[in-house]
Amino acid sequence: MNNTKPYPLHFKPEFKERVWGGRALERFGFDVPQGAIGEGWMIADHPNGISHITNGEFAGKGLDEIRSLVGDTWFGAKGASDNGRFPLLIKLLDCNDDLSIQVHPNDHYDRLPKGELGKTEMWYVLDAKPGAKIIYGLEPGVDREALAAAIEEGRIMECLQEVSVKAGDTFYIPAGTVHALCAGVVVAEIQQNSDTTYRLYDYNRPGLDGQMRELHIEDSLNVIAYEDTGATRMSTDGAQAGQWLTLASSPYFVTDKGVVDGKWDQATNGESFVVLIVAEGTGSIDWSQGHVDAKAGDCFLIPANLGSYSLDGEMTILRSLLP
């Protein structure tokens, strides 16, 4: 086993072109490839995308390689997913246009692709243009029969709830929740390590290849939670410096928001790694063996066995760990 001492891992994202993407992720200083870039897979260990470490002894290595090099101690007692990969997928999304109306299955859906998990996720709105909105759930009383009829008759939008959004809003989206990000928002997304999405409606728009994108009506109708999905939302304007505000608590992750104003001591407990997303500002992460600079858009994986570390500077941080 590698004897490298644990340190905060910083990642180079893998970028994904999407028909609804744009160029907003350039604002974080990333070397964004040409095209309509909708997603930065910031911390990713999935067959469809691997992020690579930029710092320290493991620079250049993919997240998929690290567990074999360091064992489970860096990831914590809770740190392995059911499919043996890193259990979370961390993204930044640039929604230059509306995303498809979609829903995700849970882990128990019998038609999941082989090796895939369900997908419970959450969004934190990093930026929103005036008038920006999202689709968040069904209108009250819409059941499978009513939704199927609306889809057949081309009036699905009548069945969906629209919600206005602003920077700092957060949305918890359990599997089974109908949802869609809309034009004019940039979000951080924390989710199960899954790439399974069922589309209900895509505005009759062609994809990047000029062909109509596939819809998944039957699977969508099967996995939607029509009664109560457990979805919650909140504004985080009241977050206080030096205190963690819980944004979402699920069986798969707990995510908090923290405002850093000067030095703020932290520690891991060996049970779970910690994912840090810098939502805004600049600062650093310091530990007994070193220091790494941090700025808006950066994502770090703090090993479960790092122990004491501190955040310093003026930053807004999203912290995710396993429950």
Residue 82 predicted with pLDDT over 90: no
Residues 313, 172 within the same domain: no
Mean per-residue pLDDT, 40-67: 95
SS3 label, residue 305: coil
Answer yes or no: is 126 within a domain: yes
Rounded to 5 degrees, what are φ and ψ at 132? Answer: -65, 150
Answer yes or no: is 4 within a domain: no
Residues 265, 221 within the same domain: no
Residues 173, 151 within the same domain: yes
Mean per-residue pLDDT, 292-319: 97
Answer yes or no: is 19 within a domain: yes
Residue 207 predicted with pLDDT over 90: no
* Residue 136 near residue 61 (C-beta atoms within 8 A): no
Residues 104, 194 within the same domain: yes
Instruction: Give the largest Cα separation in the chain, rounded.
Output: 63
Q: What is the mean pLDDT of the chain?
A: 94
Question: How far apart, in whole angstroms, are the C-alpha atoms of residue 311 and residue 32?
Answer: 27
Q: What is the pLDDT of residue 206?
A: 87
Residue 192 predicted with pLDDT over 80: yes
Final residue of a domain: which of 170, 201, 235? 235
Final residue of a domain: which of 202, 235, 268? 235
* Residue 143 near residue 226 (C-beta atoms within 8 A): yes
210 Cβ contact partners less than 8 Å away, ≥ 6 residues apart:
none
Q: What is the pLDDT of residue 83?
A: 67
* pTM, rounded to two decimals: 0.95
Residue 144 predicted with pLDDT over 60: yes
Residues 287, 227 within the same domain: no
Return the active site residues: 199
Mean per-residue pLDDT, 14-32: 96
Q: What is the pLDDT of residue 105?
A: 97
Residues 18, 155 within the same domain: yes
Q: Which residue ranges make up the annotated binding site for Zn(2+)?
A: 104, 121, 179
- 239 pLDDT band, cuts 50/70/90, is confident
* Residue 257 near residue 124 (C-beta atoms within 8 A): yes
**Domain range holding 37?**
9-75+84-235
Question: How far apart, in whole angstroms, are the C-alpha atoms of residue 50 and residue 230?
Answer: 30
Question: How far apart, in whole angstroms, are the C-alpha atoms of residue 295 and residue 282?
Answer: 4
Residues 97, 213 within the same domain: yes
- 29 pLDDT band, cuts 50/70/90, is very high
Residue 210 predicted with pLDDT over 90: no
Q: Which CATH number fits the domain that encloses residue 269?
A: 2.60.120.10
Alpha-carbon 246 to chain mean position: 16
Residues 211, 270 within the same domain: no
What is each CA distance from 203 to 42, 51, 254, 266, in whole angstroms?
A: 28, 31, 34, 46
Residues 228, 141 within the same domain: yes
Answer yes or no: is 3 within a domain: no
Answer yes or no: is 31 within a domain: yes
Residue 57 predicted with pLDDT over 90: yes
Answer yes or no: is 210 within a domain: yes
Answer yes or no: is 270 within a domain: yes
Residue 241 predicted with pLDDT over 80: yes
Final residue of a domain: which of 207, 235, 263? 235
Question: How far apart, in whole angstroms, are the C-alpha atoms of residue 71 and residue 66?
Answer: 8
Mean per-residue pLDDT, 226-251: 91
Residues 228, 271 within the same domain: no
* Residue 63 near residue 45 (C-beta atoms within 8 A): yes
Residues 221, 251 within the same domain: no
SS3 label, residue 220: helix
How many domains is the chain partitioned into structurally? 2
Token pair, residue 37, equals 């870039």
Q: What is the pLDDT of residue 115?
A: 86
Answer yes or no: is 1 within a domain: no
Q: What is the pLDDT of residue 79?
A: 79
Residues 46, 180 within the same domain: yes
Residue 1 predicted with pLDDT over 60: no
Residue of 271, 273, 74, 99 lying closest to 190 (CA atoms): 273
Q: What is the pLDDT of residue 63?
A: 95
